[in-house]
Structure 1
Amino acid sequence: MTHDHAHAREHMVEQQIRPWDVLDPRVLAVLADMPRERFVAPAYEGVAYADVALPLGHGELMLKPVLAGRALQALLPTETDEVLEIGTGSGYVTACLARLAREVVSLDRHADFVQAARARLESLGIANVRFEAADVFAWRCDRRFDAICVNGAVDAIPSRLLELLKPGGRMFIVRGRAPAMEAVLVRNEGPAPRIESLFETDIPYLAGAAPVPTFHL
């Protein structure tokens, strides 16, 4: 069975992404060009462009296309930006960020995810990404980044992530408790970050950032 991926990609952009108010021309161009089918397991190739979160292994999910689009538009990386991605997953968002930014550093706790994503990006000729198999909360890095894309939810925004932002930098992150989580854009401005609410969603928690269980007697 063959799939018309070009038509499916166009349909994704016009019927899913645009109606969700993703209208930036650079973001739309990247999404219209990126072969999402190259980032999914063979069993899911036929639904690579569907409005669903696809399994990746290790209990992880690939973000829906609309969420990827909204994250990219919120951050709007420029050709001079250095971007940190937390949660490489399939490498799809990584590849999109790389097409928009000067450099991307992408972290994932799962070494097999990192290895597979690196191979996918190399096959597409994308060379401005540095991958690391690491947990961001244990990761040691003296760099600060213009933008951070967090592909998992947090109960509350960790100070560790804010420390990795340059002054004036911005971070896309989903916070709160299921099923009513909130996607926000955090700007590192002044003594306290400025937080802009974007939309409601519900995605799996980043490892180490889920709510602490409470016990009642």
Structure 2
Amino acid sequence: MDWENARYLLVEQQIRPWDVLDQKVLNRVLAVKREEFVPLDKKELAFVDIELPLANGAQMLAPKMEAKLLQDIDPQPSDKVLVVGAGTGYLMALAAGLVSHVYGVEIDAALAQTARANLAAAGIKNVTVTHGDALAAAQAQGPFNAIIVTGSLAEVPASLKDQLAVGGRLIAVVGELPIMSATLVSCVDKGSFGSTKLFEYNLPRLKNAVEKTTFAF
């Protein structure tokens, strides 16, 4: 396969039509070799417009969604970014070229090790991958200027919002089937948050995400 031509077509046919127009983000998609971040047995699917299944029920976001989330979080050179659900490390690799440091948390130990190996092989140094449940406890490296969540949530928990620095942004797919929405949460002041729905998109639940409590009378 001509990987460079495939990467160009990925940008022109999948990512740009999804209103990802920030040239900094597009340059990262062109620079980072996505095919090196997918499992070997799925390498030919590296540029297919799907959520790519990984081991143990995990998934790799569709390329257009990775680029869209990164653009909409408005990455800045001085930002410290947290990726909840590091996966194979590809989204971290994209973000690493636009911000100061990217921290990734991955609940699957084998996948966390894969992310570390992939990022090291790509020569990306301003990244840190840890194994753990990002919803269970605050990360020691916080607060963060931006947080990207790679699986859906019934609602954004306080445990994540409270890790935002003032002026920080969090993006996640929030809601219930059949309609979920990518939602941007902004930290206006300490303990004060704003929320904006950006676009509709469905994703499987983030592992260990809590469902909304329903009361029966």
Give the TM-score normalised by structure 1.
Answer: 0.94
> Which SS does the other structure have where 1:146 is aligned?
strand
- Quick check: 1:179–1:201 contact (8 Å CA) kept in 2? no
* Partner Cα separation in structure 1 for residue 171 and residue 46 of structure 2: 23
Match of 2:108 in 1: 110
Match of 1:94 in 2: 92
Cα deviation for residue 34 of structure 1 reads 1.2
- Quick check: 2:138–2:160 contact (8 Å CA) kept in 1? no
Residue 200 of structure 1 aligns to which amino acid in structure 2? E
- Counterpart check, 1:153 vs 2:134: no
- For residues 165-206 of structure 1, the C-alpha deviation after alignment (integer angstroms, 9 at most, x for no partner) is 001100111100022100011110145311121110111111
Question: How many residues align structurally?
Answer: 215
Using the aligned pairs only, state the percent identity.
38
- Quick check: 2:104–2:130 contact (8 Å CA) kept in 1? yes
- 5+ long unaligned stretches in structure 1: none
Cα deviation for residue 119 of structure 1 reads 0.8
* Partner Cα separation in structure 2 for residue 37 and residue 215 of structure 1: 46
Match of 1:195 in 2: 195
Match of 2:132 in 1: 134
Match of 2:17 in 1: 19
- Quick check: 2:138–2:163 contact (8 Å CA) kept in 1? no
Residue 100 of structure 1 aligns to which amino acid in structure 2? L
The structure 1 residue matched to 2:2, chosen from 1, 4, 17, is: 4
- Counterpart check, 1:176 vs 2:175: yes
* Partner Cα separation in structure 1 for residue 157 and residue 138 of structure 2: 15
> Which SS does the other structure have where 1:153 is aligned?
coil
- Quick check: 1:156–1:209 contact (8 Å CA) kept in 2? no
Cα deviation for residue 25 of structure 1 reads 0.8
* Partner Cα separation in structure 2 for residue 178 and residue 129 of structure 1: 33
- Which 4+ stretches in 1 moved above 2 angstroms? 137-143, 210-217
Query: CA 1:173/1:140 → structure 2, altered by over 3 Å: closer, same or farther?
Result: closer
* Partner Cα separation in structure 2 for residue 140 and residue 181 of structure 1: 25
- Of stretches 186-195 and 130-139 in structure 1, the one that deviates more from structure 2 is 186-195
Residue 149 of structure 1 aligns to which amino acid in structure 2? I
Match of 2:162 in 1: 163
- Counterpart check, 1:41 vs 2:46: no
RMSD: 1.7
> Which SS does the other structure have where 2:206 is aligned?
coil
* Partner Cα separation in structure 1 for residue 202 and residue 49 of structure 2: 14
- Of stretches 70-79 and 23-32 in structure 1, the one that deviates more from structure 2 is 70-79
- Quick check: 1:174–1:183 contact (8 Å CA) kept in 2? yes
Residue 57 of structure 2 aligns to which amino acid in structure 1? G
Residue 22 of structure 2 aligns to which amino acid in structure 1? D
Give the TM-score normalised by structure 2.
Answer: 0.94
> Which SS does the other structure have where 1:90 is aligned?
coil
Match of 2:211 in 1: 211
Cα deviation for residue 39 of structure 1 reads 0.9
* Partner Cα separation in structure 1 for residue 101 and residue 113 of structure 2: 18
Residue 133 of structure 2 aligns to which amino acid in structure 1? D
- Quick check: 2:135–2:209 contact (8 Å CA) kept in 1? no
- 5+ long unaligned stretches in structure 2: none
Cα deviation for residue 214 of structure 1 reads 5.7
